[in-house]
Homo-oligomer: A and B are copies of this chain.
């Protein structure tokens, strides 16, 4: 599933990369207690223990069992326990039941990881003997594990959020203080940087090529790059902020059906939504649960943890719209989006960050990192897309209906994992990812 030639499969470099990615997964779980690693409060959220095991299962199933003669699996039941959704690979634990399994315990899962890492390290020393197909799977496995790192970050947040104790995942806040009272909030507000004003940046119409066309790795769903015809449009130069979204809330946005898709409006009423996920009101001020505990809502920071329905309703209220994924990708190339401008998993911020008040208003900020940006494009196969044969054909292809595309990565995405052509996808009602809003508007010519 790695489709562009690997420049130089030099063994040391691969081993280093492999181990770095593997270490990162465990580092994310280091602040957790064993108790935190088993629960599954909603079906979307998998137990961290499961993530640690499933990513390991991937290496064992797709690489070690294929390329190591006489490889001994760590435990014969783990193939059943830690298969995620591959019908090709037999039966598996029902997804909704992942949180019922206290065993194997975390310690056994860590031993499983060590067993597999040792076997992988040994295998990677034999690099010369390995075919190109091995390196394609290796690259895929690294990106697979990075995807689960993002899920680890967001699932951990959800797990800790269910306790009324609002426990902090990390003790030291990044640029902020824990909110213990409404007084803190007032202080936080006065300290908080002014929002950079939003501006509209034009993108000319024309025929553009979308899909993977840079170097390196991509997923199969980015393939079959193809041309699209776009009308001229404008994109806002930064993400929508908490302050802007609060204006929507205060204008009664959650109580006016006219802004909402029908299925979204039903959800708003059935679930009693009044604000983004994790927001709570204390003494009239808005706080939100974060990896650092309960914190005041920062006006200048991007609003996040929104469903598509909320992003779309906000855009309607604001007299704008969401971009399509082709518009988004074209704009990202047009404005020269680079990962190094954004907030990533490695920052340990676990929160999208505001644009500096003095940021260049003619530049397009936050395209990569900070928040996944909902597009108004269904997650469908690109023209010419073909599912791979075998189990890996189930990696992406069978999800290509009923979901929407999100673009650009988030503060929970590893920096090396993202591309302008990267296609993430969720159902319209999901809110537990770091999802936000980028506004677009059509230009009448």
Contacts and interface: CB of A to CB of B under 8 A. Distances in A.
Interface in A417-432: 428
Closest 8 CB pairs of A and B: A378-B378, A41-B100, A229-B229, A262-B398, A34-B34, A103-B163, A36-B102, A87-B257
Contacts of A231: 226-227, 383-384
Interface residues of A, number: 68
A7 interface: no
A101 B162 contact: yes
Interface string A229-262: 1010000000000000000000000000110111
A195 interface: no
Interface stretch (A142-150, A171-179, A270-278, A399-407): A399-407
Contacts of A40: 100
Nearest to A378: B378
Contacts of A378: 377-378, 380
B102 A35 contact: yes
A265 interface: yes
Contacts of A100: 39-41, 159, 162
Interface in A206-238: 207, 226-229, 231
Nearest to A376: B380
Interface stretch (A9-17, A59-67, A77-85, A343-351): A77-85
A362 interface: no
17 contacts: A34-B34, A34-B35, A35-B102, A36-B103, A38-B102, A88-B257, A102-B162, A102-B163, A103-B165, A103-B167, A104-B163, A227-B231, A262-B398, A263-B401, A264-B401, A376-B380, A377-B380
Contacts of A197: none
Interface in A34-71: 34-41, 49
A147 to B, nearest CB: 17
B226 A228 contact: no
Given A35-B49, A77-B165, 14 more contacts: A33-B105, A35-B38, A35-B103, A38-B102, A41-B97, A87-B258, A99-B99, A104-B165, A261-B401, A263-B402, A324-B383, A378-B378, A401-B404, A402-B428
A284 interface: no
B35 A398 contact: no
A393 interface: yes
A405 to B, nearest CB: 10
A308 interface: yes
Contacts of A167: 103
B400 A39 contact: no
B164 A81 contact: yes
A164 B80 contact: yes
Contacts of A81: 164-165
A88 B377 CA distance: 28
Contacts of A80: 164
A227 B226 contact: no
A188 interface: no
A404 B379 CA distance: 12
Interface in A132-164: 159-160, 162-164
A364 interface: no
A442 interface: yes
A106 interface: yes
B442 A428 contact: no
Nearest to A427: B402
Contacts of A36: 102-103, 105
A105 B262 contact: no
Contacts of A263: 401-402
Contacts of A377: 378, 380
Contact of A38 (B39, B104, B229): B39
A383 B105 CA distance: 51
A141 to B, nearest CB: 21
A262 B160 contact: no
A57 to B, nearest CB: 14
Nearest to A260: B398
Contacts of A77: 164-165
Contacts of A226: 231
